[in-house]
Copies of this chain bind each other. A is one copy, B any other.
């Protein structure tokens, strides 16, 4: 995203495909990022996992105020599919499942902290 003058003005976030997501008419990785971490619960889930993971499903649910099974379950699936969350199942009875963050989140954390800092300045 942002500012680069060549023959055609295009943003700097390294647009790639022409699917209309970016105003430069191309696919923007930034839009991808917003899809990956967007939504009502994903940030909170990542935060909880980063602080307390590995952690079991019901413990995680208890840590996130107000989340339902539907939302937690679907968000975890998407995060796992995007490679941000790791799911480990122990086949004992009763079943034990532990969730944790992956290496991808390590690089994400400082960026999110900058975003938070930015928000504090613009919305004090």
Partner of A20, one of B11, B29, B65, B82: B65
A109 B2 Cβ-Cβ under 8 A? yes
Chain A residues numbered 58-88 whose CB sits less than 8 Å from any CB in chain B: 63-66, 82-84
Tier of interface size on chain A: 35 or more
CB contact between A34 and one of B21, B43, B117 (< 8 Å): that residue: B43
| Contacting pair B65 A116 (CB below 8 A) | no
Interface of A is mostly: helix
A32 within 8 A of B: yes
Contact (Cβ within 8 A) B3 A51: yes
Known: A3-B50, A50-B1. A82 touches B44 (CB 8 A): no
The answer for the CA separation of A109 and B3 in the assembled complex, in Å, is: 10
